[in-house]
Structure formats: structure tokens, C-alpha cells
């Protein structure tokens, strides 16, 4: 996979992260908020791993 393709796919993942953040702000999420927080933490870890692995990849996150 080339860097532009990886960057494009990562941008899609980051847009999904924003959706999760909006879900967290909704009232009445109850216990699912734990799952949302876990998903956000895992996405953040994934992005950090990708940044370390591909330091030349220009992503805004």
C-alpha cells in the first residue's frame, strides 16, 4: 500500500472518530458510553502507532 492510499484510509478512520465523539455528547447513552470511550482510546492508539511507523505520512490528527 502506498502512502497516499494509507493517508486516505486513515482520514476515513479519523472521520469515524469524530462520529464517536459526537455520540459521547448525546444524553442517555448509558453504559454504551464505556464502549465508545474504549473505541476512542483504541483509535487514538492506532493513529499513534501509524504515526510512529510512518513518520513521513502527513496526517492531521
pLDDT at 38: 95
For residue 61, pLDDT beyond 60:
no
| 42-59 mean pLDDT | 87
CA distance linking residue 34 with residue 56, whole number of Å:
34
pLDDT above 90 covers a percentage of the chain that reads 34
- Residue 33 DSSP label: H
Q: Summarize pLDDT for 17-26 with one digit per residue, the tens.
A: 889 999 989 9
CA distance linking residue 3 with residue 36, whole number of Å:
29
Amino acid at each position: 500500500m502506498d502512502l497516499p492510499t494509507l493517508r486516505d484510509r486513515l482520514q476515513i478512520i479519523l472521520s469515524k472518530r469524530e462520529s464517536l465523539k459526537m455520540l459521547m455528547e448525546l444524553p442517555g447513552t448509558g453504559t454504551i458510553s464505556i464502549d465508545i470511550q474504549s473505541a476512542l482510546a483504541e483509535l487514538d492508539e492506532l493513529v499513534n502507532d501509524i504515526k510512529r511507523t510512518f513518520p513521513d505520512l502527513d496526517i492531521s490528527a
